[in-house]
A = this chain, B = another copy of it.
């Protein structure tokens, strides 16, 4: 379980920090990296020697997706989902370049990737809550009163990791608590129950492309869009609804990474401003969203969600454009991943 190098890609939305890969070298070097260079394509991104990687800048995205390239956000870490699209592996681990190796309470370096793999390779338990957390961990099990018919669990599609040091707070909370640091190491992994939504953060996230890939779209954010910092939230709401519908699991908890730097709360407030209002309507929308029985794949589900978004999220014209982008994204996914239609770049 230690390495799945031939089955997992690491996707990084830009690398501004030279220390980043050096610190992760012992853990990442066996894996293939996909770096999405955000912003100015002429800026050089330096990847240290010894890493196996491919690098895409905006020109590459335009070239590969052609008139569909607009569905990939520009000047926003939402661009990472382009890496999900072009990967050829079953599993993805995505991490931000201000996230470093954390230490467990014994002072040992945490191999975040290994824990994500363990989370993804063991089942989830979305239909009943296990009070001793992940029943598949060593030294744990299902407690008295847990139905035996549910102990096989369901396949895990998503592993959501957490952050020591700088917690993932919104701008208002950052402003109110500028000095707050997360120092509490909670030694738990748990399934987010069925029909329960959670705020999925893209900083430290792994998933199974074959199960949920077509729904792991980070939306339209950043330049030219009215909103930022809701890319991962959007993907989190959509993928959770899809997982619930398809009988797949979402885990949260371990592994921790060390989040080194709080982003600027004033910049963040500008990006989040509309989202703070919108989420009050979007979340109830997703909480009550039901998918039809005909949807049997993540792509089916995602296309049906796009229709519901177009018809139901009438709070701003932005959501019509987003619904269009969701459809285009699925078209791109199918092009790159064996769906119908010609494949770009000569691959057929």
Contacts and interface: CB of A to CB of B under 8 A. Distances in A.
Say how many copies of this protein the assembly contains: 2
A258 to B, nearest CB: 15
A160 B132 CA distance: 12
A168 B140 CA distance: 11
Given A128-B283, A139-B180, A186-B133, A144 B199 contact: yes
Contacts of A168: 131, 143-144
A347 interface: no
Interface stretch (A37-45, A146-154, A206-214): A146-154
Interface in A116-163: 128-133, 137, 139-149, 160, 162
A51 to B, nearest CB: 30
Given A139-B183, A169-B144, A201-B143, A162 B132 contact: yes
Interface in A249-282: 252, 272, 276, 279-280
Contacts of A230: 145
A28 to B, nearest CB: 24
A166 to B, nearest CB: 11
A233 interface: yes
B129 A180 contact: no
User: Chain A interface residue count: which class?
Assistant: 35 or more
A173 interface: yes
Contact of A148 (B129, B192, B276): B276
A145 to B, nearest CB: 3
A177 interface: yes
28 contacts: A105-B105, A128-B196, A128-B197, A128-B198, A128-B283, A129-B198, A131-B160, A131-B201, A132-B167, A133-B186, A139-B181, A139-B182, A140-B182, A142-B169, A142-B173, A143-B170, A144-B170, A146-B199, A147-B283, A148-B276, A149-B280, A186-B186, A188-B188, A193-B193, A193-B196, A194-B196, A195-B195, A195-B196
